[in-house]
């Protein structure tokens, strides 16, 4: 078996594309086959060159390594469609020579007039194939006259039935089939022609893709028959919708894989989550590694109903994975997050990063760690005080937070600077002054971070260091 993932670089990899890649990868691994990566970059108007590198990076971040294709090489090189134009044109010429394709020269306006006429007759528009197909000489004369010339496929007047592993038997009636374009006026193939030719020449035997392609698959079946290509297996995946029932799109930047990576999600969690969008392993088990999925996956447990992209569930998955992964793996992932974000946390200090992972235990994403601790590594004058925190924690009450900080400062100046020693000092200060820990810890947090959120106060002060802690307390007292 050989499967493939063939993204179009008109945008970055989004979760729907990642799920398609994952399921194709899993199908190949489960059946002892090969997984191929091809880039379908024939949409010149919408092409984004940097998207190719991002797609490759994000697939590798997810752990979906391919056996053949872009960068990996293989027997069917090249694996970018823009570098295979001569191959497509040769197959179009083969169809022209066999009378299974023909030139068409209508302008956009002429086609629109035809559609309007069909609508007026309350009929679905079908392209009217001419009785006498235009010759190559006539096509060239039309080009010379400035007209756009395309090539259309001759569709036989017969129903087309597809056997799909997810949706069963699907038939396109002959009445709804018309001659479609296979070569555009600019010499580039349409998606349908290039897709069919590449899948055949690259030996792809099983095609898994989104449900939106199911209604177009009859075109591929007819092209394969005309070109003498063997038929692959098909499996179309249910759509992924947001919680309001709208289809997710690659135009929604916040569902790009890279966006989740930048936001501090673990690849294990995202992969686990998208695997369950339209598929289930049976039973109640939900936490699944890539190795687990390789053993369990099969198209027999794919659903037909649309899947819902529940961000709260993804966040819960990420929290759970963060709580159970080995520290070395968390460190690797944390450093990747830091490399993608502008944060003052020193990314090269592994011991410090391990400490942050421990003191922020229970974090949901790495962005939580950055939000809680980044200020500790920023310049002393680079953070602002939250006005609400100042009002609530520092200004209110007879013995307000400013007063507590002033009384506490001498003790801190003489303290041993370890988390445990600082916690003991603060407990002793609370007992001596009949104060709850919150009446002391919260003013300290606001003074040294500007907010009421940080790791445990002893850990916070120890991470900040004696000199910076004292300087920040004095700065806070000076601005009251």
Residues classed as catalytic: 250
Long-range contacts of 453-460 (CB under 8 A, 24+ apart): 453/371, 453/372, 454/372, 454/373, 454/376, 455/359, 455/360, 455/372, 455/373, 456/359, 456/419, 456/423, 457/422, 457/423, 457/426, 458/419, 458/420, 458/421, 458/422, 458/423, 458/426, 459/359, 459/419, 460/376
- Cα 292 from Cα 238, distance rounded (Å): 22
CB–CB of 213/219 below 8 Å? no
Cα–Cα dist 299/283, whole Å: 16
Among 299, 289, 284, 244, smallest CA distance to 266 is for 289
Please, which residues have CB within 8 angstroms of residue 474's CB and are 6 or more apart in sequence? 409
Count CB-CB contacts under 10 A for residue 133. 15
Tell me the C-alpha distance between 7 and 22, whole Å: 13
Environment class of residue 378 by beta-carbon count within 10 Å: exposed (0-12), middle (13-18) or buried (19+)? middle
């Amino acid at each position: 078996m050989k499967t493939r993932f063939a993204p179009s670089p008109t945008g970055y990899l989004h979760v729907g594309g990642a799920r398609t890649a994952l399921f194709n990868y899993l199908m190949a691994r489960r059946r002892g086959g090969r997984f191929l990566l091809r880039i379908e970059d024939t949409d010149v108007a919408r092409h984004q060159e940097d998207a190719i590198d991002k797609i490759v990076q994000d697939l590798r971040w997810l752990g979906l390594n391919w056996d053949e294709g872009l960068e990996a090489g293989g027997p069917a090189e090249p694996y970018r469609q823009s570098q295979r134009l001569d191959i497509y044109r040769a197959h179009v010429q083969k169809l022209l020579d066999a009378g299974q394709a023909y030139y068409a020269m209508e302008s956009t306006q002429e086609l629109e007039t035809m559609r309007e006429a069909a609508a007026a007759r309350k009929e679905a528009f079908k392209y009217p194939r001419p009785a006498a197909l235009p010759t190559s000489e006539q096509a060239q004369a039309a080009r010379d006259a400035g007209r756009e010339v395309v090539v259309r496929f001759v569709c036989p007047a017969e129903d087309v039935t597809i056997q799909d592993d997810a949706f069963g038997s699907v038939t396109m009636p002959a009445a709804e089939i018309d001659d479609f374009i296979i070569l555009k006026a600019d010499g580039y193939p349409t998606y349908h022609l290039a897709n069919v030719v590449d899948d055949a020449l690259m030996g792809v035997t099983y095609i898994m893709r989104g449900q939106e392609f199911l209604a177009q698959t009859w075109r591929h079946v007819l092209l394969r028959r005309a070109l003498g290509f063997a038929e692959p297996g098909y499996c179309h995946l249910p759509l992924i919708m947001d919680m309001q029932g709208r289809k997710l799109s690659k135009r929604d930047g916040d569902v790009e894989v890279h966006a989740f990576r930048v936001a501090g999600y673990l690849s294990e969690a995202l992969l686990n989550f998208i695997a369950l969008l339209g598929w289930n392993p049976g039973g109640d088990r939900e936490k699944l590694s890539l190795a687990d999925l390789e053993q369990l996956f099969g198209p027999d447990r794919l659903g037909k109903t649309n899947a819902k992209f529940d961000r709260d569930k993804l966040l819960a998955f990420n929290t759970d994975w963060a709580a159970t992964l080995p520290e070395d793996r968390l460190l690797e992932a944390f450093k990747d997050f830091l490399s993608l974000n502008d944060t003052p946390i020193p990314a090269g200090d592994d011991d410090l990063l391990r400490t942050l992972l421990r003191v922020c235990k229970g974090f949901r994403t790495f962005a939580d760690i950055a939000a809680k601790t980044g200020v500790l590594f920023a310049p002393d004058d680079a953070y602002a005080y939250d006005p609400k925190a100042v009002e609530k924690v520092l200004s209110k009450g007879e013995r307000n937070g400013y007063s507590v900080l002033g009384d506490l400062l001498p003790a801190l100046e003489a303290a041993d600077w370890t988390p445990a020693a600082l916690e003991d000092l603060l407990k002793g200060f609370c007992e001596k002054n009949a104060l709850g820990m919150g009446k002391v810890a919260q003013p300290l947090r606001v003074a040294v971070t500007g907010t009421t959120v940080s790791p445990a106060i002893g850990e916070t002060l120890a991470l900040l260091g004696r000199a910076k802690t004292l300087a920040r307390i004095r700065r806070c007292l000076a601005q009251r």
